[in-house]
Amino acid sequence: MNKLLKNSVQTIMLFLILISLSGCDNKQAHTTLPVAVYVTTISKTDEVEERWFNATVRAKIETDFGFRVGGKIVKRLVNIGDRVTYGQPLAQLDITDYQLAIGIATDQLKAASVDAKQAASDADRFKRLVSDGSIASADLERQKSRLVAAKAHEEQARRALELAQNKNSYATLKAPYSGVITAMSMEVGQVVAEGSPIVSIAKDDEREVVADLPEGIANQVSQFTASAFSFNNNDISVALHLRELSPLATLQTRTYHVRYAPNSSFELASFPLGGTIQLRLSRQLTSGTTVPLNALVKTSREPGVWALNSAGNGVVFVKVNILSYGTNTVIVVGVRDNMRIVTVGAQKLDASMKVRPIERKFEDSENNRGNL
């Protein structure tokens, strides 16, 4: 019995030793198996950094305005989207009160004119009376003063009539320039206050491109060349120059408002007013190399890339300095010309691993095409 038990224990121990040795062999075989990775040969050239943003075509001059007098609207003569010309009537106020004011001012002017004429006639008569000694010189001086006052009252009445006539003309809202109606907040029967904005007109012969840029770009916007592209046709483009940069960021989005103008005022005529377009900002980089974004590895040390060793069967970690990020690329300093770097599988590598490189083009690496 003891002998049988002893033989069983020996058999089990031998079996466990064989399993352990087999596991070691499999582990060793697994660790020595090369890891397949995609690699791309990087060529250093003069790089162009590009940034794309959505932008809007707006009129350079767009004004909100309203009546210069208050009253009740009795006519609305235009609608949103209508094209108007300089001086064209847009709306009309009730002019009953203004007509009454003109009548009152007219009567006051007539009365003041009569008083002025009478004062002038009296002054002439006083001159004759003074010459023959009928009245004293002091009486003539007092009459001259009354004449001056009468003429002043006449001029005041004339100005009051002119003011009443102006207010009557202000009851008709007219276009200050030719353009297109972009907004309106008035209806017939509505009572509006003096100066209350009720209509917007865009002067569409001069257009601009308006966009909101993040802080990182806004701080360097003067270094970029700008151009506008149509969403429907990238062959249609217009060169732009920076006209205005807001000094303050918006509170909600923390972006900076910019306005770009074309070199010629008519170059944006093919883009619809208020339409969305693409704003391209670009600049030439004198240093740095563009690599696919998925090739970048961020370790506890510094960012870098995995490059093939001279034998082509292993990798070495190359530290880089990041200049800027693109959509699918990153511009770095530290990558040598014609260096072969890992573009897929880089996150799972370490310096002790053996690799089996698979070449692919930069364009495929940039767009992350291809699976291991």
- Examine residue 119 and state whether it is found in any structural domain, yes or no: yes
279 and 211 in a single domain? The answer is yes
- Examine residue 3 and state whether it is found in any structural domain, yes or no: no
Domain edge (last residue) among 285, 306, 339: 285
- Examine residue 271 and state whether it is found in any structural domain, yes or no: yes
- Examine residue 20 and state whether it is found in any structural domain, yes or no: no
0.85 exceeded by the pTM? Answer: no
Q: Which residue has the higher pLDDT, 270 or 188?
A: 188
From 20-24, 91-95, 304-308, the region with the lowest mean pLDDT: 20-24
181 and 268 in a single domain? The answer is no
Q: Give the whole-number percent of the chain exceeding pLDDT 90.
A: 49
Q: What is the mean pLDDT of residues 221-250?
A: 89
Give the pLDDT band (50/70/90) at residue 151: very high
Tell me the CATH number at 263: 2.40.30.170
Where on the phi/psi map is residue 305: left (φ > 0), alpha (ψ -120 to 50), or beta? beta
Tokens found for residue 275:
């339409």
Task: Return the amino acid letter for 332.
Answer: V
209 and 279 in a single domain? The answer is yes
User: Is pLDDT of 193 > 90?
Assistant: yes
185 and 238 in a single domain? The answer is no
Q: Which domain holds residue 109?
A: 95-169
Q: Which residue has the higher pLDDT, 351 or 256?
A: 256
Domain edge (last residue) among 230, 262, 285: 285
pLDDT at 133: 79
230 and 292 in a single domain? The answer is no
Could you report the per-residue pLDDT of 277-292, keeping only the tens digit for each? 999 999 876 677 888 8
Give the pLDDT band (50/70/90) at residue 176: very high
Tell me the CATH number at 75: 2.40.50.100
* CB neighbours of residue 87 within 10 Å: 10
Query: Which element (helix H / strand E) includes 257?
Result: strand 256-262
Domain edge (last residue) among 230, 261, 285: 285
292 and 255 in a single domain? The answer is no
178 and 159 in a single domain? The answer is no
Q: Name residue, tokens 């002043």.
A: 152
Q: Is 191 helix (H, G, I), strand (E, B) or coil?
A: strand
Give the pLDDT band (50/70/90) at residue 13: low
- Examine residue 321 and state whether it is found in any structural domain, yes or no: yes
CA distance 356 to 295: 16
Tell me the CATH number at 296: 2.40.420.20
Q: What is the mean pLDDT of residues 69-80?
A: 96
254 and 352 in a single domain? The answer is no
Could you report the per-residue pLDDT of 98-110, keeping only the tens digit for each? 999 999 999 999 9
354 and 299 in a single domain? The answer is yes
Strand partners for 228: 238, 279
- Examine residue 18 and state whether it is found in any structural domain, yes or no: no
Tally the C-alpha atoms within 13 A of residue 296's C-alpha that lie toward its C-beta. Answer: 23
Question: Structural domain tally of the chain?
Answer: 4
Tell me the CATH number at 127: 1.10.287
CA geometry: angle 249, 255, 259, nearest 5 deg: 90
80 and 190 in a single domain? The answer is yes
Could you report the per-residue pLDDT of 303-329, keeping only the tens digit for each? 999 999 988 889 999 999 888 787 788
From 19-23, 93-97, 348-352, the region with the lowest mean pLDDT: 19-23
181 Cβ partners below 8 Å, 6+ apart? 78, 79, 80, 81, 82, 83, 84, 90, 199, 200, 201
Task: Return the amino acid letter for 296.
Answer: L
271 and 225 in a single domain? The answer is yes
User: Is pLDDT of 358 > 80?
Assistant: yes
Could you report the per-residue pLDDT of 327-336, keeping only the tens digit for each? 788 888 888 8
Strands 172-174, 83-84: pairing kind: unpaired
Tokens found for residue 109:
């002017």
- Examine residue 6 and state whether it is found in any structural domain, yes or no: no
pLDDT at 148: 93
Residue 336: DSSP 8-state: P
CA distance 89 to 105: 26
266 and 337 in a single domain? The answer is no
Q: What is the mean pLDDT of residues 108-129?
A: 91
- Examine residue 311 and state whether it is found in any structural domain, yes or no: yes
Q: Which ranges constitute the DSSP H helices of 58-136? A: 96-131
